[in-house]
């Protein structure tokens, strides 16, 4: 992993498996049937609440977060420049704040970038055309309080399921480099 990149992990999926297997329910019922049910009820509630409060959402596999040392506007400009300097193309930009304002949500600044290059499309087409579902790659820049964070999903995570590991191995360091250059 490149310096500055922080993978995001969550226990929420494990909790869903635990709940789905009925293990939590059986454990709670066992504790509640004991004489100290008030104490045990409180204890079980605190444990379960702790699991759910430890993460607000389940993160996507391979999700990477890098905190920018720049303002939102400077981060966006640096990302645009880094994409071009690394031989990729910005295919589309989505201004999330403007889109959310259209439906009455007052959000902080956010911009999603779809990036790729047609030369990689040749590899996808010749190996597995269904792999076009995984591209273009997306980078998200979000103003979160006083911080500006850059998020992306590792290309290997989105491309490997389509048998495109060779391409993914080329793109993982390229995208990491783009994001890390942007964050400086």
Q: pLDDT by residue (tens digit) across 21-54?
A: 455 555 545 544 555 555 555 555 555 555 444 4
Are both 83 and 173 inside the same structural domain? yes
Domain check: are 94 and 115 in the same one?
Answer: yes
Using a CB cutoff of 8 Å and minimum separation of 24, what contacts does 96-104 make?
A: 96/142
Tell me the C-alpha distance between 27 and 112, whole Å: 43
The set of residues, in sequence order, having a beta carbon less than 8 Å from that of 1 and lying 6+ positions away, is 7, 176
- Least confident piece of the model among 7-11, 30-34, 64-68, 162-166: 7-11
Clarify whether residues 150 and 99 are in a common domain: yes
Tell me the pLDDT tens digit for each residue of 132-145.
999 999 999 999 99
Q: Does residue 161 sit in the same domain as residue 74?
A: yes
Is 131 a residue whose pLDDT tops 80? yes
User: What is the pLDDT at residue 50?
Assistant: 52
Q: Which domain holds residue 21?
A: 12-53
Is 6 within a domain?
no
Number of domains the chain contains: 2
73 and 41 in a common domain: no
Same domain, 82 and 125: yes
Q: Are residues 45 and 83 in the same domain?
A: no
Residue 60's pLDDT is 80
Does some domain include residue 179?
yes
Closest CA to 158 of 111, 124, 182, 125: 124
Whether 117 and 155 have beta carbons less than 8 Å apart is answered as: no
For residue 12, name the pLDDT band (cuts at 50, 70, 90): very low
- Establish if 3 belongs to a structural domain: no
* Mean of per-residue pLDDT scores for the chain: 81
> Which of 18-22, 102-106, 164-168 is least confident?
18-22
Higher pLDDT, 45 or 99: 99
pLDDT value, residue 42: 55
Other beta carbons within 10 Å of 126: 8
pLDDT at 143 (0 to 100) = 95
Answer whether residue 58 is part of any domain: no
| Res. 99: pLDDT tops 80 | yes
0.85 cut: is pTM over it?
A: no
More confident site: 16 or 86:
86
Nearest to 11 by CA among 58, 64, 61: 58
């Amino acid at each position: 992993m490149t310096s500055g990149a922080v993978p995001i992990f969550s226990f929420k999926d494990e909790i869903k498996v635990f709940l789905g297997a009925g293990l939590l329910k059986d454990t709670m019922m066992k504790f509640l049937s004991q004489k100290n049910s008030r104490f045990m009820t409180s204890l079980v509630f605190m444990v379960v609440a702790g699991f759910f409060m430890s993460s607000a959402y389940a993160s996507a596999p391979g999700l990477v977060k890098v905190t920018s040392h720049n303002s939102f506007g400077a981060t966006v400009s640096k990302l645009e420049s880094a994409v071009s300097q690394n031989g990729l193309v910005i295919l589309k930009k989505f201004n999330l704040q403007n889109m959310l304002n259209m439906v009455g949500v007052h959000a902080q600044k956010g911009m999603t970038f779809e990036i790729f290059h047609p030369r990689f499309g040749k590899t996808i087409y010749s190996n597995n055309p269904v792999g076009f579902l995984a591209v273009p790659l997306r980078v998200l820049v979000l103003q979160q309080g006083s911080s500006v964070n850059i998020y992306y999903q590792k290309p290997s995570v989105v491309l490997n399921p389509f048998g495109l590991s060779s391409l993914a191995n080329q793109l993982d360091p390229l995208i990491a480099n783009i994001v890390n250059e942007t964050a400086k």
